[in-house]
Amino acid sequence: MICFIALIVFGILGIFSATHRKLALEAFDCVFKRVTLRKCTTGLDVRLKSKITSSFLEKSPKLGQWIYRYFEVLSWAFTILMIGSLVWSGISIYNYVEYGNCNGPNVKDQQGLCIFDPTKENAQISSCGEGELVSSNPLLEPSLQGVNLSLFPQYSGTEVKDEIVYVGCYACANTKKVNPVINQLATENKDTLKFVFIHLPLHQEYGYINKIENCLFVENEAAYWKFHNALMSMPLEQIKDKENVLKELEKITEVITEVNSSEIIYCSENYEAEKLFQAQIKEINKMNVEGTPTIFVNQQVFIGPKPLRVYERALSTQRDWFGISLIVVGALILIMILYFAIFKRE
Amino acid sequence: MLKKLFQKKKEIHTPYFRKDFPVLERAVKGKPIIYFDNACMSLRPKQVIEKSNEYYYNYPGCAGRSNHLIAEEVEREVSLARQEVAEFFGADSAKSVIFTKNCTEGINLVANAIRFVPGEMVLTSDKEHNSNLIPWLKLQKEGKIKHDFIESTVENEFSLEKLREKLREHTGKVKLVSVVYTSNLDGVTNPVKEIIEISHKAGALVLLDCAQAAQHQEINIKKLGADFISVSSHKLCGPNGVGALISTQKNLQLLQQFMVGGETVKDSHLEGSYNPEDIPERFEAGLQNYPGIIGFAEGLRYLKQVGLENIHEHLKLLNQVATEGLSTIEKVKILGPASAEKRSGILSFVILGKPVHEVSLLLNNLHNIMVRSGAHCVHGWFNHHQDTVFKDGTVRASFGFYNTPEEVEELVKAVKEIANL
């Protein structure tokens, strides 16, 4: 059984040294034979046992003797531990590729430790503070159940197959980080997507942006998306100043002449706009989001800025090639093992 | 007790010779090394190393081709070496010595150069090294000969009775009896004088694999009456990659050329004809291993200086010490005759319940004792004896004249320790 451990150890050392590469090949031969229910004939196991026990026997004869006697049991124990940790590592890699974190699709797991993302960059969110517009229950997961999405700016492709609900905030660093990815996703799948953007103003002071946006969307959808993109591109420091936001609105209305900035500002300050804004906040509260970005792709929730592949995999139009490859490779290995175990017995 | 046993017999002054072997000065982890793998390869004294180097330093040329000073010097050294080998093995002339790569090549030369008539047989013992088994099995596979073997006795000794039976069974068909002189498996020396007599009476030629025997006993081809003997230099304190096939002029005339090329012909014509060179050069294709050949002769001179009889006695004694020591360990089983006298310098054993490779590795790792484990290239015997405790091979300690009784005691102590693990 020691060959299983040797394969991993020498395999890693073999990257750097030719001597260990040879040992790794021997270990592979031994492991392959054991897996295919044949006898290991390389003698590597015997050499390793002798080498290991000898070094213990030299230092402490009693301990060495004990290790020599129970070497097979110890080898089994370490091999099982190693296989267990390999399986867990495999699951972590799969999760990282599939969900952008090591721990799987659950929302709580997405915040957990991940060796491939040690700084948790893929899981960072800008959280809602105490007494702010929205609050969340940490015991519940974010959900779109019962949420009236028709209250928010959105567009639909000609043949909708997937739905993306993007909860972001113009004044948040993590939203700005994920935004180019979401833009790319939305552009590449524009014909098959229903795309909803929900601006979650983490602070009361940014609520005016929602109201302007709502008025703009009702007035001219193209002007709204232009304004949306402009705010997403605006540096964080600038967006904190209302003047800059209004200037951006001004710029857009200069290009899209059907829209008048003064009318939009007037609209955003009236009672109807406030009413719609409050209705939106009520719906956002139903979602139970902890912060931004929170992105729903169909029913799967992603917390924090994930790589593009993670969102793509959740789309119904994308084939999960990674998963398919894993299944194919697994099946081929199984067939090969069975072939050698049945037809190539010595 | 072991030392007392030693004092009873004539002892080689081991320390005197040990200083000639630089490798014996090596120590690993502060402990000296103990080399007990002499059946595989003997150590080389300084004299041999220096003699081989002499070729590269002083006359690194071709023998028998060019006519300049260096070529003449190397030609002279090679001739002297051939003469030395001929004298050492009692050949009728230096021309009866064919230099080969090793003992295996010598046997292959005979196997491929004898003119066999389909249906003719070759007999071997059941303890042959692959070197003296595979050439015959290959010819049998090609349909050129038939091969049969003579089963050993219960004590793993050669059975002359069974040889007679086989020769009777295959009357007139046995062209060659090819047997090992001293087995590398268990050290048993076969009664070759009797084997030769019996075989000759039945009209068969005899080839002796002398790889193990030559290092500890006198082999005189003339006195023995053998037709061919094959030896390796590396088991005779000589360099690697050289050996010799020794025969008589009469027998060598019976052989056809096997490997041909440079130095094996006097003349050649594009139209298709060529004139073979005289014996022995006609069997020595291509440029030869001159430093090896020169060192080979020096190794033989060194052995003569130590004295083959002395070596024989010393090895027997060491084996007796080892056998007595190991016999006290319950789990140890020795392969071959119980008496150490019959096993020359070889002691093959197993520790019940311990894989043989594991034992040899532990001996090496814990005590710097170098032995060999496995089937020792005698797979045929092991596959034929799968119902014994030796089915997975043995640990083989093979002694040299430079080994000491203290080293053997160390082996006994170490085996005891491993058996108790």
* Per-residue pLDDT tens over the stretch B217-230: 999 999 999 999 99
Mutation target for B interface from A54, A59, A65: give the one with most B CBs within 10 A. A54
Least confident segment among A70-84, B203-217, B385-399: A70-84
Across the range A329-346, mean pLDDT stands at 81
Stretch A237-264: mean pLDDT, rounded? 89
- Closest by CA to B319, choosing from B298, B292, B344, B282, is B344
Distance between CA atoms of B155 and B170, rounded to whole angstroms? 26
Give the pair of three-digit tokens for residue B295. 């060192």
Backbone φ and ψ of B207, nearest 5°: -115, 130
Q: Which residue does chain A place closest to B356, by CA atoms? A: A46
CA pseudo-torsion sign A163, A165, A170, A174: negative
Picking from A55, A58, A65, the nearest residue to B421 by CB comes out as A65
**Whether B361 and A57 lie within 8 Å, measured CB to CB:** no
How confident is the model over A176-185, as a mean pLDDT? 93
Closest residue on chain B to A61 (Cα): B421
Cβ–Cβ of B361/A54 closer than 8 Å?
yes
Q: Burial-class residue B154 by CB neighbours within 10 Å (0-12, 13-18, 19+).
A: exposed
CA distance B356 to chain A (A): 9
Q: Alpha-carbon distance B126 to B145, whole Å?
A: 18
pTM of the model: 0.76
CA-based angle B158:B161:B165, to the nearest 5? 115
User: Minimal Cα–Cα distance from A54 to chain B, Å?
Assistant: 6
By three-state DSSP, how is residue B203 classified? coil
pLDDT at B1: 44
| Residue pair B298/B240 in contact by the 8 Å Cβ criterion | no
- Which of A43, A51, A65 lies at the smallest CB-CB distance from B365? A51
Helices (H), chain A: 2-13, 18-35, 44-59, 61-69, 71-99, 107-110, 173-188, 207-219, 221-233, 236-239, 242-255, 261-268, 271-287, 308-313, 321-343
Task: Please indicate whether, in this complex, the C-beta atoms of B358 and A65 are within 8 angstroms of each other.
Answer: no
Q: Which residues of B touch A50 (CB under 8 A)?
A: 357-358, 361-362, 364-365
- Whole-angstrom distance, CA of residue A273 vs CA of residue A279: 10
Of the CA atoms within 13 Å of residue A62, those in its CB half-sphere come to 0
Answer whether residue B328 shows pLDDT above 50.
yes
Would you call A69 and B358 a contact, using CB atoms and an 8 Å cutoff? no
CB contact under 8 A, B361 and A46: yes
* Residue A234 near residue A170 (C-beta atoms within 8 A): yes
Q: Do A68 and B421 touch (CB under 8 A)?
A: yes
Task: Give how far B350 is from chain A: nearest CA, Å.
Answer: 16
Residues of chain A contacting residue B355, judged by C-beta atoms under 8 Å apart = 46
- Cα separation, A292 vs A272, in Å, equals 26
Q: Could you give the dihedral angle defined by the CA atoms of residues A48, A51, A54 and A55, in that order, rounded to the nearest 10 degrees?
A: -120
Does the beta-carbon distance from B362 to A51 stay under 8 Å? no
ipTM associated with this complex: 0.76
pLDDT at B301: 97
CATH 3.40.30.10 region(s) of chain A?
125-308
Residue A232 has pLDDT above 90, yes or no: yes
Contact A234, A216 (CB under 8 A): no
> Counting one residue from A and one from B, how many pairs have CB atoms under 8 Å apart?
28
Q: Does residue B280 have a cis bond before it (omega within 30 degrees)? A: yes
Please, which residues have CB within 8 angstroms of residue B406's CB and are 6 or more apart in sequence? none
Round to whole Å and give the CA distance between A252 and A230: 9
Q: Is B27 left (phi over 0), alpha (psi -120 to 50) or beta?
A: beta
pLDDT grade for A133, boundaries at 50, 70 and 90: low
**Record: contact A69-B362, CB cut-off 8 A:** no
Residue B5 has pLDDT above 50, yes or no: no
pLDDT in tens, A63-107: 999 999 999 899 889 989 988 998 999 899 888 888 888 888 877
pLDDT at A30 over 90: no
Would you say the C-alpha torsion B93, B94, B95, B99 has a positive or negative sign? positive
Is the pLDDT confidence value at B187 over 90?
yes
pLDDT score at A129: 58
Please indicate whether residue B377 is annotated as part of the active site.
yes
CA A210 to each of CA A237, A239, B140: distance values in angstroms, whole numbers, following the listed order = 19, 14, 96
* pLDDT at res. A132: 61
Interface test with A, best of B351, B356, B360, B361 (most A CBs within 10 A): B361
What's the one-letter identity of residue A257?
Answer: T
- CB-nearest to A54 from B355, B357, B365 is B365
Q: What kind and span of H or E run contains A155?
A: strand A154-156
What are residue B239's phi and psi, to 5 degrees? -70, 165
pLDDT digits (tens, 9 = 90+) for A311-321: 998 898 877 78
Closest CA to A50 of B360, B396, B28: B360
Residues from chain B that touch A47, judged by Cβ atoms under 8 A, are 357, 361
From A32's Cα to the closest Cα of chain B, the distance in A is 21
Q: What percent of chain B has pLDDT over 90?
A: 93
Whether the CB-CB separation of B389 and B333 falls below 8 Å is answered with: yes
Tell me the average pLDDT across A198-217: 88
Dihedral in degrees, nearest 10, Cα atoms A172, A176, A181, A186 = 80
> With contacts defined as CB-CB under 8 Å, which chain A residues touch B357?
43, 46-47, 50
Cα four-point dihedral sign A117, A119, A124, A129:
positive
Rounded mean pLDDT of chain B?
A: 94
Residues of B within an 8 Å Cβ radius of A = 355, 357-358, 361-362, 364-366, 421
In sequence order, the 6+-apart residues with CB closer than 8 A to the CB of B168 are none
Q: Which of B356, B367, B416, B421 to mutate to test the interface with A (most CBs of A within 10 A)?
A: B421
Phi, then psi, of B174 in degrees rounded to 5: -80, 110
Interchain contact, A46 vs B358, CB within 8 Å:
yes
Residues of B within 8 A of A43 (CB-CB) are: 357
What is the C-alpha end-to-end distance of chain A, expressed in Å? 20
Kindly indicate the confidence band of residue B46, based on its pLDDT and cuts at 50, 70 and 90: very high
Residues in chain A within 8 Å Cβ distance of B362: 50, 53-54
- How many whole angstroms separate alpha carbon B197 and alpha carbon B175? 14
Model confidence band, residue B324 (pLDDT cutoffs 50, 70, 90): very high
Candidates B31, B357, B358, B373, partner chain A, best to mutate (most A CBs within 10 A) = B358
* Distance to chain B for A335, nearest Cα, Å: 32
Asked if B246 and B86 count as a contact pair (C-beta separation under 8 A), the reply is yes
Token couple for B21: 């072997």
Q: Which residues contact B207 (CB under 8 A, 6 or more apart)?
A: B107, B110, B132, B176, B177, B178, B179, B226, B227, B228, B229, B230
Residue of B358, B366, B421 with shortest CB distance to A58: B366
CA-based nearest residue in chain A for residue B374: A43
Judged by CB atoms closer than 8 Å, whether chains meet at A50 and B421 is answered as: no
Closest residue on chain B to A64 (Cα): B421
AA letter at B11: E
**Mean pLDDT calculated for residue range B153-166:** 95
B357 and A43 in contact by Cβ < 8 A?
yes
| Residue in B103, B210, B237, B377 annotated catalytic | B377
Cα distance from B417 to chain A (closest Cα, Å)? 10
Q: For residues A80 and B141, give the distance between their C-alpha atoms in angstroms, rounded to a whole number.
A: 48
Reference B393, options B324, B333, B340, B329; nearest CA is B333
Question: Rg of the Cα trace of chain B?
Answer: 22
Is the CA virtual torsion B274, B279, B284, B289 positive or negative? negative
Q: What is the mean pLDDT of residues A187-192?
A: 92
Interval B233-250: pLDDT, tens: 999 999 999 999 999 999
pLDDT at A52 over 80: yes
Tokens of B46: 């300084």
Q: Which CATH number is correct for A125-308, 3.40.30.10, 3.40.640.10, 3.50.50.60, 3.30.1490.20?
A: 3.40.30.10
- Amino acid occupying residue B417: E
Asked whether the beta carbons of B137 and B147 are under 8 A apart, the reply is yes
Angstrom distance (rounded) from CA B401 to CA B299: 14
- Are B399 and B38 in contact, with CB atoms under 8 Å apart? yes
SS3 A311: helix
The answer to whether A54 contacts B366, with C-beta atoms less than 8 Å apart, is: yes
DSSP code of B284? -
CB B205 within 8 A of CB B110: no
Q: Is the dihedral of CA B235, B236, B239, B241 positive or negative?
A: negative
> Which residue in chain B is spatially nearest to A43 when comparing CA positions?
B357
CA gap B317, B187 in Å, rounded: 13
